[in-house]
Amino acid sequence: MINEAMYALGDEPSAIRELFAYGLKRKAEIGDDKVFDFSIGNPSVPAPAAVKEAILALMEEDPVTLHGYSPAAGDPQVKQVIADAISRKFGVTATPGQLYLTAGAAAGLAISIAALTHPGDEVLVISPYFPEYKTWIEAAGCTIVEVPAQVPSFQIDTEAVAAAITPKTSAVIVNSPNNPVGAVYTRENLEALATVLREAEERLGRPIYLISDEPYREITYGAEVPYVPAIYPRTLVCYSYSKALSLPGERIGYIYVSDAMPDARDVAVAVAGAGRALGYVCAPVLLQKAIARVVDVPSDVAAYAENRRLLTEGLAQLGYEFVQPDGAFYLWVRALEPDAQAFSERAKGFELLLVPSNSFGCEGWVRISYCVSADTIKGAMPAFKALKESYEQE
Amino acid sequence: MINEAMYALGDEPSAIRELFAYGLKRKAEIGDDKVFDFSIGNPSVPAPAAVKEAILALMEEDPVTLHGYSPAAGDPQVKQVIADAISRKFGVTATPGQLYLTAGAAAGLAISIAALTHPGDEVLVISPYFPEYKTWIEAAGCTIVEVPAQVPSFQIDTEAVAAAITPKTSAVIVNSPNNPVGAVYTRENLEALATVLREAEERLGRPIYLISDEPYREITYGAEVPYVPAIYPRTLVCYSYSKALSLPGERIGYIYVSDAMPDARDVAVAVAGAGRALGYVCAPVLLQKAIARVVDVPSDVAAYAENRRLLTEGLAQLGYEFVQPDGAFYLWVRALEPDAQAFSERAKGFELLLVPSNSFGCEGWVRISYCVSADTIKGAMPAFKALKESYEQE
């Protein structure tokens, strides 16, 4: 009599985790340097030294205050620091009352979806997409509506979004820089999306919220990442420090309900209520306070930039087709046969662990996580060559 | 078009937080030592020195590994340490696969309820009860069924539980040592409950799960806190280190799905699935790893024991009626008029901040949190005297 939907979620195989587990086993068999594991998005760059310094300094404070409960939405001083940083960085007026600190972007998304929807609503996602979106949308009793991105640019297909909106649409989730593709949505593309959403709001007489999932905002290679609330005011930004500061296991991020939104205060209240309903009490306080001290520390993207160069140059030379990544640390590569899963399986025979695109709601591609050592990329090139040749010899 | 139930939760006044906020304001007006704030359950004893030592030692480890994702259910080594500690302490065989580390007991309860119920089910609680139980039960689409405790022992009224069980009952939540009463359920009381639940399971042909919410397990004053899964195998223990190690803001605890449960593995899978659905990725990893190093460090209850002595002796002398607390840091005192809210209001006139029992689902009492300085208790005694006299003069 346990909940069978929850059982199914707990029992569901994850292609990424299975590939990762296979990699660990395989490395034990033939040696770490013989297996080229591109499965997992765990940052390979260490957290900046300033994070360690902040935590060490905080540990000298009074432990009763340091480790005590913060208000549910976060420590007021920490929220002020983050709001100021948002205001400075994007030239807006962000107020602390519109911030709700979360245990990472996952919590932020689950909470935002619960706050903005009613059972039976539809939530649009741009495919390929991070697979847990489906879990959280369905947990809120809603239906996920997949809108394929344009191929091969993987920008939002705004006409397809317009066609997919119905009177049940309550929210659209975008993720730029994008996991799994590495695309960054251009200003023009986001402006076109905003126009579509505004027209739909007017036509349907109801708000449509934009949820901007931004854990990779700082991981870019020169491209502009436009500030979404300035383009579409009815935006909730779900941010995380997991990737920017290499703290994925610490679970610290925020929801920012844009001050520019007409119903800004009400939405912030609903976010706080959804946090309660989902069992969140406050984001981990030691990390909250550490973040306040490192809010302006830049992300270290040098290693990812070098990996990106090695990988794209190497694969281009071998004749692979891929999406030139503008952000995040993922490369989206065309599978050498239509069935991505079969391609990923064959790649395993060459000790290459590539996540098939089926995991992200589309066919025909694989995701390469290049948050690995440069040696893994260099070592993998002969395997990529042999993999390609195996298809050419058929 | 935001979710109005979530809005209502976010907008709902909390008697405890309002009283606490009033206290801060009042202290600023008349001085910290003039206001006797017994509103909040924030531990006043510092975290043991071993916690600081553990965190400082961990901060010297490789940051990529230290702060990386753990599996959703927790770091395998940490889970092994906790499982071994459970096995040692309670003379059972606890296996790491049955543990799911959580962001505190609140997450553990929300996840357990989601895993064990279907919309429309009923979940029984013993009133007075921690008010968020209602939030999480209703978030799962279920109905809360309040079963009043025996008065004045505040043990479980097992006959009333038997009478309240219906074919829709999927779970019962117990909390011992108890917030807000301070009662510890005796072995006999829990055995009687187990008999009732077993008979109901047989009669109804369905499992009834017991959720044992145990954040105060280590905060006791000599009473035995029986190990619930040994009495009723179909038990999920929701534990937190918040109170035991004075780390409430850090959000670290676990769900232990008893190995002794017939459907132990299936329930653990459903728990993992519910964690995904509610947006939990993993419990904060730095704290996970710190806990593994301090798992046998005893709680420091000396200050609470002294507060308990001062408070119970002082109030007894003044003629107040209260429940002798065996655990936690709460004293449950009979209001001097039937309307607890009016009594709490009048107490404010004497600068005494006492939480009315309405907040916990019953009438006629107030909760005193004695996780305060001893000086607060000593200073409050004349105010308690004057409060009592104000009723006698009527």
Is A277–B107 a contact, with Cβ atoms under 8 angstroms apart?
no
Tell me which chain A residues have a C-beta less than 8 angstroms from the C-beta of B248: 67-69
Is B10–A271 a contact, with Cβ atoms under 8 angstroms apart?
yes
**Could you say which of A2, A109, A269 has the minimum Cβ distance to residue B11?**
A269
Q: Are A325 and A221 in contact (CB under 8 A)?
A: yes
Question: Cα B116 to the chain's mean position, in Å?
Answer: 19
For testing contact with chain B, the best of A75, A234, A251, A282 (most B CBs within 10 A) = A251
Helix B264-277 × helix B104-116 angle, to 10°: 110
Is B42–A68 a contact, with Cβ atoms under 8 angstroms apart?
yes
d(CA A369, CA A311): 10
Chain B nearest CA to A320, separation (Å) = 31
- Return the number of CB contacts < 8 Å for A and B: 249
Is A278–B282 a contact, with Cβ atoms under 8 angstroms apart?
no
Closest CA to B52 of A288, A56, A250, A282: A56
pLDDT in tens, A79-99: 999 999 999 999 999 999 999
Chain A nearest CA to B315, separation (Å) = 27
**Could you say which of A9, A114, A279 has the minimum Cβ distance to residue B106?**
A279
Tell me which chain B residues have a C-beta less than 8 angstroms from the C-beta of A132: 276
**Could you say which of A5, A47, A136 has the minimum Cβ distance to residue B63?**
A47
Q: Which residues on neighbouring strands pair with residue A237, listed in sequence order?
A: A212, A256
Tell me which chain A residues have a C-beta less than 8 angstroms from the C-beta of B116: 1-3
Pairing of strands B99-102, B122-127: unpaired
Is A10–B272 a contact, with Cβ atoms under 8 angstroms apart?
yes
Count of beta carbons in the 10 Å neighbourhood of residue B57: 12
Give SS3 for B388. helix
ipTM greater than 0.85: yes
Chain B nearest CA to A16, separation (Å) = 12
Is B286–A109 a contact, with Cβ atoms under 8 angstroms apart?
no
Is B115–A2 a contact, with Cβ atoms under 8 angstroms apart?
yes
Tokens encoding A192: 């076109």
Chain B nearest CA to A156, separation (Å) = 25
Residue ranges of domains in chain B:
4-47+300-392, 49-294
- Characterise B385 by phi-psi region: left (phi > 0), alpha (psi -120 to 50), beta (else): alpha
Chain A nearest CA to B85, separation (Å) = 24
Pairing of strands A169-175, A122-127: parallel
**Could you say which of A116, A135, A267 has the minimum Cβ distance to residue B276?**
A135
pLDDT in tens, A320-334: 999 999 999 999 999
pLDDT in tens, A325-365: 999 999 999 999 999 999 999 999 999 999 999 999 999 99
Name which of A5-14, A210-219, B167-176, B196-205 the model is least confident about.
A5-14
CATH architecture entry for B4-47+300-392: Alpha-Beta Complex (3.90)
Tell me which chain A residues have a C-beta less than 8 angstroms from the C-beta of B108: 279
- For the domain with range B49-294, which CATH number is right: 3.40.1580.10, 2.30.140.10, 3.40.50.2300, 3.40.640.10? 3.40.640.10
**Could you say which of A6, A55, A277 has the minimum Cβ distance to residue B270?**
A6
pLDDT in tens, A133-175: 999 999 999 999 999 999 999 999 999 999 999 999 999 999 9
Long-range residue pairs from B197-203, CB within 8 A, at least 24 positions apart, any chain: B197/B161, B197/B165, B197/B172, B197/B232, B197/B234, B198/B232, B199/B162, B200/B162, B200/B165, B200/B169, B201/B234
Tell me which chain A residues have a C-beta less than 8 angstroms from the C-beta of B277: 5-6, 9, 110, 135-136, 138-139
**Could you say which of B1, B59, B115 has the minimum Cβ distance to residue A6?**
B115
Question: Cα B183 to the chain's mean position, in Å?
Answer: 12
Tens-binned pLDDT, residue by residue, of chain B (394 aa): 899 999 999 999 888 888 988 998 999 999 999 999 999 888 999 999 999 999 999 999 999 999 999 999 999 999 999 999 999 999 999 999 999 999 999 999 999 999 999 999 999 999 999 999 999 999 999 999 999 999 999 999 999 999 999 999 999 999 999 999 999 999 999 999 999 999 999 999 999 999 999 999 999 999 999 999 999 999 999 999 999 999 999 999 999 999 999 999 999 999 999 999 999 999 999 999 999 999 999 999 999 999 999 999 999 999 999 999 999 999 999 999 999 999 999 999 999 999 999 999 999 999 999 999 999 999 999 999 999 999 998 7
Rg (CA), chain B: 21
**Could you say which of B3, B46, B117 has the minimum Cβ distance to residue A270?**
B3
pLDDT in tens, A103-140: 999 999 999 999 999 999 999 999 999 999 999 999 99
Is A10–B269 a contact, with Cβ atoms under 8 angstroms apart?
yes
d(CA B172, CA B112): 11
Is A3–B118 a contact, with Cβ atoms under 8 angstroms apart?
yes
Chain B nearest CA to A339, separation (Å) = 28
Is A115–B6 a contact, with Cβ atoms under 8 angstroms apart?
yes
Is A1–B206 a contact, with Cβ atoms under 8 angstroms apart?
yes
Chain B nearest CA to A281, separation (Å) = 7
Tell me, what amino acid is at B309? R
Q: Is A193 exposed, middle or buried (0-12, 13-18, 19+ CB in 10 A)?
A: buried
**Could you say which of A2, A43, A250 has the minimum Cβ distance to residue B267?**
A2
